[in-house]
Amino acid sequence: MIASRKFLSLLLSASILTPMPSVALAPQDYKQEAIANIDSHAKMVQVMVDTVFSYGEPGFQEFRTGAYLTDILAKNGFKITKGVAGIPTAWTATWGEGGPLIALGSDEDDLRGVSQIPGDPKIEPMVPGAPGHGEGHNSGMPLQIAAALAIKAVMEKHHIKGRLMLWPGIAEELLGTKAFYVRDGLFKGVDACIFAHVASDFSTAYGPSSTGMVSVEYTFHGKTAHAAADPWDGHSALDAVEIMDVAMNFRREHLPLSQRTHYVVSNGGGQPNIVPGIASVWYYFRDVTFDSVKTLYDIGNRTADAAAMATDTTVEHKLLGTAAPNYGNKPMAELAQANIEAVGMPKWTADDQAFTKLVQETQKRKVEPLKDKVTPLRPPQEDRTPTGGGSDDIGDIMWTVPTITVRYPSNIPNMIGHNVTSAMAMATPIAHKGAVAGAKAVAMTVLDLMMTPDELTKAKAFFDGDQQKYDHYKPFLSATDVPAIHVNDDYMRTYRPLMEPYYYDSKKYDTYLDQLGIKYPNPPTGPIRKITPPKSSGDVTGGG
Residue numbers at the binding site for Zn ion (CB under 5 A) = 135
**Nearer to Zn ion among residue 54 and residue 391 (C-beta):** 391
Closer CB to Zn ion, 175 or 281, in the complex: 175
Residue 24 Cβ vs Zn ion, minimum distance, rounded to whole Å: 35
3-state secondary structure of 402: coil
Least Å from the CB of residue 392 to Zn ion: 6
**CB-nearer residue toward Zn ion: 103 or 307:** 103
**Shorter beta-carbon distance to Zn ion: residue 391 or 452:** 391
Length of the chain: 544
Question: CB-wise, 49 or 153, nearer to Zn ion?
Answer: 49
**Residue (391 or 506) nearer to Zn ion, CB:** 391
| CB nearer Zn ion, residue 107 or residue 455 | 107
Distances (CA, A) of 139 to 49, 146, 388, 390: 5, 11, 26, 20
3-state secondary structure of 143: helix
Least separation, in Å, of the C-beta of 106 and Zn ion?
9
> Which residues are CB-neighbours of 36 under 8 A, at least 6 positions away?
none
- Distance CA(97)–CA(450), nearest Å, equals 12
- Distances from the Cα of 13 to the Cα of 126, 152, 413, angstroms: 59, 28, 45
Q: How far is the CB of 172 from Zn ion (least distance, A)?
A: 5
- Give ∠ CA 141-402-407 in degrees, rounded to 5: 40
The CB-of-455 to Zn ion minimum distance in angstroms stands at 27
Indicate the residue whose CB is closest to Zn ion: 135
Cβ 417 to Zn ion shortest distance, Å: 8
Query: Which residue, 135 or 287, is less far from Zn ion as judged by CB?
Result: 135
Residue placing its CB nearer to Zn ion in the complex, 135 or 217: 135
Q: Cα 33 from chain centroid?
A: 28
Residues whose CB falls within 8 Å of the CB of residue 61, separated by 6 or more in sequence, listed in order = 89, 109, 488, 489, 491, 492, 496, 543
CB-CB contact of 175 with 47 (8 Å): no
CB of 539 to Zn ion, least distance (A): 25
Contact (Cβ atoms closer than 8 angstroms) between residue 115 and residue 410: no
Least Å from the CB of residue 110 to Zn ion: 10
Tell me how far, at minimum, the Cβ of 261 lies from Zn ion, in Å: 20
What distance in Å separates the CA atoms of residue 239 and residue 218, rounded to the nearest whole number? Answer: 13
DSSP string, 178-246: HHHHHHTTTTTT--EEEEEEEESS-EEB-EEESBEEEEEEEEEE-B--BTTT-GGG-B-HHHHHHHHHH
Angle at Cα 106 formed by Cα 292 and Cα 25, nearest 5°? 100
Looking at residue 40, its amino acid is S
CB of 135 to Zn ion, least distance (A): 5
The phi and psi torsions of 79 (rounded to 5 degrees) equal: -90, 125
* 135 vs 191, beta carbon nearer Zn ion: 135
Q: How far is the CB of 346 from Zn ion (least distance, A)?
A: 20
Strands 162-169 and 91-97 come out as antiparallel
Angle between helices 140-158 and 429-451 (to 10 degrees): 40
- Identity of the residue, 134 or 269, whose beta carbon is nearer to Zn ion in the bound complex: 134
d(CA 442, CA 139): 14
Secondary structure in 3-state letters for 248-259 = HHHHHHHCCCCC
